[in-house]
Chain A
Amino acid sequence: MNAKELKQVKEQLKEGHFPQWMVTDPDIYKLEQDKIFAKTWLFIGHESEVKEPGDYVTRMMAEDPVLMMKNKQGEINVFLNSCSHRGTRLCTEDYGNKKAHTCPYHGWTYSLDGDLIGVVAGNKVFGEKMDKGDWGLRPIPRVESYQGMIFGNLDPEAEPLEDYLGNMKWYFDIMLGRSDGGMEVWGVPHRWVAKANWKMTSENFAADPYHVQTTHRSAVELELTPKDPMYASYGHQVVLDNGHGINVITSETGRSRLKYQGMPEDMWPMFERNLTENQQEVFSRVTNFVGGVFPNLSFISTQSGSEGNGHNHLNFRVWRPLGPDKIEILVWFMIDKALPYEFKKKSYRGFLNTFGAAGTLEQDDTENWARIVEASQGKMARDRSLNYNNVINYLMGFDNLEPDKEFPGPGTAYPSCYTDHIARSMHRYWLSLITADMEEEEKV
């Protein structure tokens, strides 16, 4: 991006426009890989996925294959899933339990701590220059967790995870820290590939309840959701630190029909013990929490049910970029360990009906995400000089919505979820990252 383009982009963002060329531009994609995915905290998995010593899962941190495993002391470590000898992928499985990992190429073996403990014919073929201590698995430079959510960062100088999450932690506490014993991942994540740009999917969850009334209108036609086109707007859109955001959707009355998202009443005293009064206030009113942690972790905590019952269900998802117009979607269904099995099962089925690869709501999202990239890759949409008014519109709430200072949670809360405040905040943060170490003269 040259200085002139950057200046123009900055001006456009200030006006609530996002140049359409930046959605799928290959140069921008490369910048995102280098300046965002190599420098921010990326979600790897949940602590409940590696329960016992020797348990492991393999994941991708954007383009980097990683191996997360629990050692004999119960500590969870994450390494590049690549043998230090010739770079072969060390572990091919999605998950399992092993005492040690042996590379299938030359047989080098690593302990649960990532130390190199076995070199075939080592003393016979390697001399003194080879010190096994130097050739352990390469650790992901920074691995930290919050409320059981494990994140990694390739930048050794990155700020601590908790500082990065900032005021999102307060909302994580409600969704993940309300129950004694915390949350657990049910089974393994759904995984599938969709035609989409990661920014648009992140934005869809973090910043865009406005799409609900049309994208998910089939649910209105089936009388599963209210006819009122404003129904997903009620509540607050809360702009949080570092491009994060959450929508606290309630209802026209300002309250959910079911307190604590329909969670069983005998758990309420536990919630009230684990949460502050302000957190209880927000949790008691909410129907849906939907939001995101920049860059590519999103979540929705919602409820399904019939005949007056509601079953809260929560899923987290990573939009892993596979290219400017392709992502892998991973969706983890999470549930309070403390819930009775029957409730968990109903929550699980509510989740499957609505979200995940077959979810009736998610199906129509994937269709619209594909249509964005399909229509954003031509000469007009890609014109870097913006000769064709090729900017996309983030003007909702631009000059007609003031923060609600009475909102009990942290962040800047706007009294409607039909606004682009989080999206504009994401764009500003995104731009600050991809231009972070440009030369001063380029910054203009």
Chain B
Amino acid sequence: MNAQLQYEVEQFYYHEAYLLDHRRYEDWLNLLADDIQYAMPLRVTVDNKEGSNINENMTYLDERKPDLELRVERLFTKSAWVDNPATRQRHYIHNVVIHEGEAPEEYHVHSCFLYKRSRSSEIETEELFGEREDVLRKTEGKFTIVSRRIYPDQPVLTVKNLAMFL
């Protein structure tokens, strides 16, 4: 994998994180392909012989673009209390590993995330961490997210809701 591509993908993720941290969700939607599949399955604790500790039969989210657009629209209503007053949040994206995808200009990207959130004047902060598996497509020099699967590491999430985008 060449260094230029690594740089471009990482810059893309930093830009995405910047938009999300600053609640520029409408701009974030522009990074998503119209046919995006955006899902968050459950992490579970199972015997190692099972091979995977992801349960794909249940997800916290299983979204297409119109679903995500509606979520964004909702967060900008006057009475989406979960984001009013505004959430302070940080998306830390790291350990970005890129593989060639099936089509030219398509990439399978693995990354890790750490998400931190502060609400009102509460001294306790919330966090969530795990990994993401993306399919990115590069069209006319710009990346879009075609698919994202979010795998939290915690089987019992320590955030009081999943109002954020990861």
CB contacts (< 8 Å) of A362 on chain B: these are 161
User: Interface digits, A186-216 against B, CB 8 Å rule (1 contact, 0 not)?
Assistant: 1111111111100000000000000000110
Contact A221 B44 (CB under 8 A): no
Q: Check: B86 CB closer than 8 A to any chain A CB.
A: no
Partner among A95, A188, A357 whose Cβ is within 8 Å of the Cβ of B161: A357
Q: Known: A215-B81, A360-B74, A364-B82. Is A187-B55 also a contact (CB below 8 A)?
A: yes
CB contacts (< 8 Å) of A222 on chain B: these are 70, 73-74, 77
Contact A352 B62 (CB under 8 A): yes
Contact B47 A193 (CB under 8 A): no
Q: Check: A367 CB closer than 8 A to any chain B CB.
A: yes
Q: Check: A356 CB closer than 8 A to any chain B CB.
A: yes
Q: How far is the CB of A77 from chain B (nearest CB, A)?
A: 20
CB contacts (< 8 Å) of B119 on chain A: these are 367, 370
Q: Check: A265 CB closer than 8 A to any chain B CB.
A: no
Q: How far is the CB of A331 from chain B (nearest CB, A)?
A: 10
Contact B50 A187 (CB under 8 A): no
Q: Known: A193-B160, A367-B161. Is A94-B82 also a contact (CB below 8 A)?
A: no
Q: How far is the CB of B58 from chain A (nearest CB, A)?
A: 3
Residue of A nearest to B67 (CB): A353
CB contacts (< 8 Å) of B79 on chain A: these are 214, 217-218, 220-221, 364
Partner among B40, B42, B80 whose Cβ is within 8 Å of the Cβ of A218: B80
Q: Check: A272 CB closer than 8 A to any chain B CB.
A: no
Q: Check: A96 CB closer than 8 A to any chain B CB.
A: yes
Most interface-central of B58, B61, B161 (chain A CB within 10 A): B161
CB contacts (< 8 Å) of A218 on chain B: these are 74, 77-81
Q: Check: A368 CB closer than 8 A to any chain B CB.
A: yes
CB contacts (< 8 Å) of B46 on chain A: these are 93-96
CB contacts (< 8 Å) of A52 on chain B: these are none
Q: Check: A333 CB closer than 8 A to any chain B CB.
A: yes
CB contacts (< 8 Å) of A215 on chain B: these are 81
Considering the chains assembled together, what is the distance between the CA atoms of A363 and B160 in angstroms? 8
User: Interface digits, A351-392 against B, CB 8 Å rule (1 contact, 0 not)?
Assistant: 011001110101110111010001000000000000000000
Partner among B42, B45, B122 whose Cβ is within 8 Å of the Cβ of A187: B42
CB contacts (< 8 Å) of A173 on chain B: these are none
Total of A-B residue pairs, C-beta within 8 Å: 117
Contact B45 A221 (CB under 8 A): no
CB contacts (< 8 Å) of A196 on chain B: these are 160
Could you say which of B7-15, B20-28, B134-142, B150-158 contacts chain A? Answer: B150-158
Considering the chains assembled together, what is the distance between the CA atoms of A366 and B163 in angstroms? 10
Residue of B nearest to A191 (CB): B156
Contact B58 A186 (CB under 8 A): yes
Contact A190 B60 (CB under 8 A): yes
Contact B74 A187 (CB under 8 A): no
CB contacts (< 8 Å) of A217 on chain B: these are 77-79
Partner among B40, B120, B161 whose Cβ is within 8 Å of the Cβ of A366: B161
54-76 of chain B: CB within 8 A of chain A: 55, 57-62, 67, 70-71, 73-74
Considering the chains assembled together, what is the distance between the CA atoms of A358 and B157 in angstroms? 11
Q: Check: A328 CB closer than 8 A to any chain B CB.
A: yes
How many residues from A make CB contacts under 8 Å with B?
43
Considering the chains assembled together, what is the distance between the CA atoms of A356 and B58 in angstroms? 11
Contact B44 A94 (CB under 8 A): yes
Considering the chains assembled together, what is the distance between the CA atoms of A221 and B82 in angstroms? 15
Q: Known: A93-B47, A96-B46. Is A367-B81 also a contact (CB below 8 A)?
A: yes
Q: Check: A35 CB closer than 8 A to any chain B CB.
A: no
Q: How far is the CB of B39 from chain A (nearest CB, A)?
A: 10
Q: Known: A214-B79, A358-B161, A374-B122. Is A94-B73 also a contact (CB below 8 A)?
A: no
Q: Check: A92 CB closer than 8 A to any chain B CB.
A: yes
Contact A192 B156 (CB under 8 A): yes
CB contacts (< 8 Å) of B45 on chain A: these are 92-94
Q: Check: A349 CB closer than 8 A to any chain B CB.
A: yes
Partner among B60, B62, B71, B81 whose Cβ is within 8 Å of the Cβ of A357: B60
CB contacts (< 8 Å) of B158 on chain A: these are 192-193
Q: How far is the CB of A269 from chain B (nearest CB, A)?
A: 30
Contact A188 B156 (CB under 8 A): no
Considering the chains assembled together, what is the distance between the CA atoms of A77 and B102 in angstroms? 49
CB contacts (< 8 Å) of A358 on chain B: these are 40, 60-61, 161-163
Q: Known: A94-B46, A358-B161. Is A368-B81 also a contact (CB below 8 A)?
A: yes
Q: How far is the CB of A86 from chain B (nearest CB, A)?
A: 22
CB contacts (< 8 Å) of A333 on chain B: these are 58
Contact B55 A192 (CB under 8 A): no
Q: How far is the CB of A215 from chain B (nearest CB, A)?
A: 7
CB contacts (< 8 Å) of B162 on chain A: these are 192, 357-358, 363
Partner among A192, A220, A374 whose Cβ is within 8 Å of the Cβ of B157: A192
Partner among A96, A189, A190, A370 whose Cβ is within 8 Å of the Cβ of B160: A370
Considering the chains assembled together, what is the distance between the CA atoms of A192 and B163 in angstroms? 13
Of all A-B residue pairs in the complex, the 10 with the closest CB atoms, nearest first, are: A187-B58, A187-B57, A358-B162, A217-B79, A192-B157, A221-B77, A194-B160, A218-B77, A363-B161, A363-B82
Q: List 29 A-B contacts (CB under 8 A).
A: A95-B46, A190-B58, A192-B157, A192-B159, A192-B160, A192-B161, A193-B160, A215-B81, A218-B78, A218-B80, A219-B74, A220-B79, A222-B77, A333-B58, A349-B67, A352-B62, A353-B67, A356-B60, A357-B157, A357-B161, A357-B162, A358-B60, A358-B161, A363-B80, A364-B80, A364-B81, A367-B119, A370-B119, A374-B120
Q: Which residues of A contact B (CB under 8 A)?
A: 92-96, 98, 186-196, 214-215, 217-222, 328, 333, 348-349, 352-353, 356-358, 360, 362-364, 366-368, 370, 374
